[in-house]
């Protein structure tokens, strides 16, 4: 039995009900965050909450108390003392009879849903071997930096990947590599790391920022500059970064072999990432 938080109350998951008039349900009018819990401690909480407020502000959703989120988190974490877990926060504009025009900010109580669920670490064999991906045309909107619950392009792209029997799909816009469906992407060439710059066309990943910091501390050069699909194919190493993905080697892109297994740079960054996660 699992307890979830919904609009100020804690309840059994089966008792948590959301209105058919919720704007999240009707219009995907809402935002979310996923925070990883290592030994019950949220990884980079402040960064996630800052990004959540940037998303809320983009949608002009008001009335969310930071302290309430912390209190809810503490209770949910206490109920789920596992070694690794995932905290999900979803906030929608609230409940209103279906009309496209959003109400004046502050007029509607947002719907706030949070849960903590255990997660299995990624299979170590997969981590060592790496995963295959395909590239797909990025047909998402122009505000990808907003972590909206409107994830249909991501879902459909992931479906395409699954149909092809690979792990993920990488969005490509105007020939440039953007990110995966739920992770950012890095390439390594001659010891230099490269990842798409933060623009409105990618989600500025918290893990991405941590990896850049760790890599720079280790003395790597990190370029936040656009790169092409051809450059991706010609990389020495490629990896994904994300809250649930951590640092995951990509060893095949569009059927082309990049490497036989996770490379040395990827492996060392993953080890340093784990150290930092355990310390946090
Ligand atoms: N996804 N890019 C996209 C499109 C994402 O959805 C995510 C995260 C990331 C990585 O961001 P971060 O390092 O902050 O997790 C990049 C979450 C985990 C999800 O949708 O489940």
The residue contributing the CA closest to ligand 1 atom 1 is: 182
Residue whose C-alpha is closest to residue 146's, from 244, 54, 242: 54
Q: Which of 172, 177, 183, 273 to mutate to test the pocket of ligand 1 (most atoms within 8 A of CB)?
A: 183
Q: Whose CA is nearest to atom 20 of ligand 1?
A: 182
Which of 151, 180, 205 maximizes ligand 1 atoms within 8 Å of its Cβ, making it the mutation to test the pocket?
205
If you compute the radius of gyration of the chain from its CA atoms, what whole number of angstroms results?
19
| pLDDT value for 106 | 85
Q: What angle do CA 167, 168, 170 make, to 5 degrees?
A: 150
Question: Over 90: is that where the pLDDT of 176 sits?
Answer: yes
Distance 203 CA to ligand 1 centre (A): 7
The confidence score (pLDDT) of residue 58 equals 98
What single DSSP character describes residue 101? S
Average pLDDT, integer, range 161-170:
98
How confident is residue 154, by pLDDT bands cut at 50, 70 and 90? very high
Mean pLDDT, the chain, as a whole number? 97
Q: Is 215 in the pocket of ligand 1 (CB under 6 A)?
A: no
Concatenate the DSSP letters of all residues of 50-79 into one string. Answer: HHHHHHHHHHT-----HHHHHHHHHHHHHH
Cβ(111)–Cβ(7) below 8 Å? yes
Q: Please compute the mean of the pLDDT values over residues 37-50 and round it to a whole number.
A: 96
Please say if the pLDDT value at position 1 is more than 80: no
> Which residue owns the Cα nearest ligand 1 atom 18?
243
- Decide: 176 and 230 in contact? Cβ < 8 Å: no
Q: What is the pLDDT of residue 199?
A: 98
Quick check: 81 pLDDT over 90? no
Residue 137's pLDDT is what? 98
Domains of the chain: 3-118 (3.30.470.10), 124-279 (3.20.10.10)
Rounded to the nearest 10 degrees, what angle do helices 66-79 and 45-59 cross at?
A: 130
Atom of ligand 1 nearest to the CA of 47: 14
C-alpha 150 to ligand 1 mean position (Å)? 13
Give the mean model confidence (pLDDT) for residues 127-152: 98
Per-residue confidence (pLDDT) for residue 95, from 0 to 100: 98
Task: Provide the pairing of β-strand 131-137 with 246-253.
Answer: parallel
With bands split at pLDDT 50, 70 and 90, how would you rate the model's confidence at 279? confident
* Binding site membership of 183 for ligand 1 (Cβ less than 6 Å): yes
Residue carrying structure tokens 């819990």: 37
Distances (CA, A) of 113 to 3, 26, 158, 205: 11, 16, 25, 22
In angstroms, the CA 233 to CA 57 distance is: 38
Task: Considering only the C-alpha atoms of the chain, give the largest distance between any 2 of them, rounded to a whole number of Å.
Answer: 57
Look up residue 16 and give its two tokens. 């948590």
**What is the 8-class DSSP label of residue 19?**
-
Q: What is the DSSP string of 26-56?
A: HH--EEEEEEEEETTEETTHHHHHHHHHHHH
Q: How many CB atoms lie within 10 A of CB 106?
A: 11
Ligand 1 pocket residue status of 153, Cβ below 6 Å: no
Q: Residue 80: its pLDDT value, please?
A: 85
**Above pLDDT 90, what percent of the chain?**
95
Look up residue 120 and give its DSSP letter. P
Tens digits of per-residue pLDDT, 5-24? 999 999 999 999 999 999 99
Please identify every residue annotated as catalytic.
147
Give pLDDT, residue 83: 81
């Amino acid at each position: 039995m699992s307890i979830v938080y919904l609009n100020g109350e804690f309840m059994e998951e089966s008792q948590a009900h959301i209105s058919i008039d919720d704007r999240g349900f009707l219009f995907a009018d809402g935002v979310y965050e996923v925070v990883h819990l290592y030994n019950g401690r949220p990884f980079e909480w402040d960064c996630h909450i800052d990004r959540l407020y940037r998303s809320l502000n983009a949608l002009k959703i008001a009335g969310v108390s930071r302290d309430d989120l912390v209190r809810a988190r503490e209770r949910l974490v206490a109920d789920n003392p596992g070694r690794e877990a995932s905290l999900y926060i979803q906030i929608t504009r609230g409940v209103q009879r279906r009309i496209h025009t959003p109400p004046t900010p502050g007029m509607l109580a947002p719907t706030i849903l949070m849960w903590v669920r255990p997660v299995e670490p990624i299979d170590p064999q997969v981590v060592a071997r790496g995963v295959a991906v395909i590239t797909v045309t990025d047909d998402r909107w122009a505000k990808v930096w907003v972590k909206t619950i409107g994830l249909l392009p991501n879902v459909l792209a992931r479906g395409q990947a699954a149909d092809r029997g690979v792990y993920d799909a990488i969005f490509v816009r105007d020939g440039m590599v953007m990110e995966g469906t739920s992770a950012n992407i890095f390439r390594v060439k001659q010891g230099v790391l490269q990842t798409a710059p933060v623009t409105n066309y990618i989600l500025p990943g918290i893990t991405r920022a941590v990896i850049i910091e760790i890599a720079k501390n280790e003395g790597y050069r990190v370029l936040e500059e656009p790169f092409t699909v051809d450059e991706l194919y010609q990389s020495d190493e490629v990896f994904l970064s994300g809250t649930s993905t951590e640092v995951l080697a990509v060893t095949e892109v569009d059927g082309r072999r990049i490497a036989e297994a996770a490379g040395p740079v990827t492996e060392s960054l993953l080890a340093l990432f784990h150290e930092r996660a355990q310390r946090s």
